[in-house]
Amino acid sequence: MPKNPNADSIKIARKYLDSLVLESRLLSAGVPDTSVEILGTTFDTPVMTGALSHLKNGMGAYAKGAALANALCSIGMGDNDSFGDALKSGAKVIKVIKPYEDRKEIYSRIYYAESHGAFGVGMDIEHAPDGEGNLSSVCAGMPLLLPSADELKTMIQSTPLPFFIKGVLSVQDALKAKRLGAAGIILSHHNSIMSWAIPPFALLKDIRKAVGEDFIVIADGGIEDGFDAFKALALGADLVSIARPLMGPYNETGAEGVRDTLLQFTKELKAAMVRTGTKDLKTIDPTVIHEAWWL
Ligand X SMILES: Cc1cc2nc3c(=O)[nH]c(=O)nc-3n(C[C@H](O)[C@H](O)[C@H](O)COP(=O)(O)O)c2cc1C
Residues classed as catalytic: 190
Residues 37-66 that bind ligand X (CB under 6 A): 50-53
Near ligand X by CB under 6 A: residue from 243, 255, 269, 284: 243
Task: Indicate whether 221 belongs to the interface with ligand X (CB under 6 A).
Answer: yes
**Cα torsion angle, 179, 152, 188, 129, sign:** negative
DSSP letter string, 118-171: -SEEEEEGGGSS-TTS-SEEEETTEEEEPPPHHHHHHHHHT-SS-EEEEEE-SH
Query: Does 226 participate in binding ligand X (rule CB under 6 A)?
Result: no
Among candidates 183, 185, 191, which has minimal Cα distance to 237?
185
Instruction: Report, in Å, the least distance between residue 240 CB and ligand X.
Output: 9
Of the pair 220, 268, the CB lying nearest ligand X is at 220
Residue 77 near ligand X by CB under 6 A:
yes
Chain residue whose CB lies nearest ligand X:
76
The amino acid that residue 42 corresponds to is: T
Considering CB under 6 A, how many residues would be counted as binding ligand X? 19
262 binds ligand X (CB under 6 A): no
| Binding mask of the shown chain, residues 97 to 136, with x at each position contacting ligand X by CB under 6 A | ---------------------------x------------
The amino acid sitting at 146 is L
String of b and e for 252-291 (b: at least 16 CB within 10 Å)?
eebbebbbebbbbbbebbbebbbbbbbeebeebeeebbee
Helix H or strand E segment including 194: none
Q: Contact with ligand X (CB under 6 A): which of 12, 180, 216, 242? A: 242
Return the range that interacts with ligand X (CB under 6 A); candidates 37-45, 64-72, 203-211, 236-244: 236-244
Interface with ligand X (CB under 6 A):
50-53, 76-77, 96, 124, 166, 188, 190-191, 220-223, 242-244
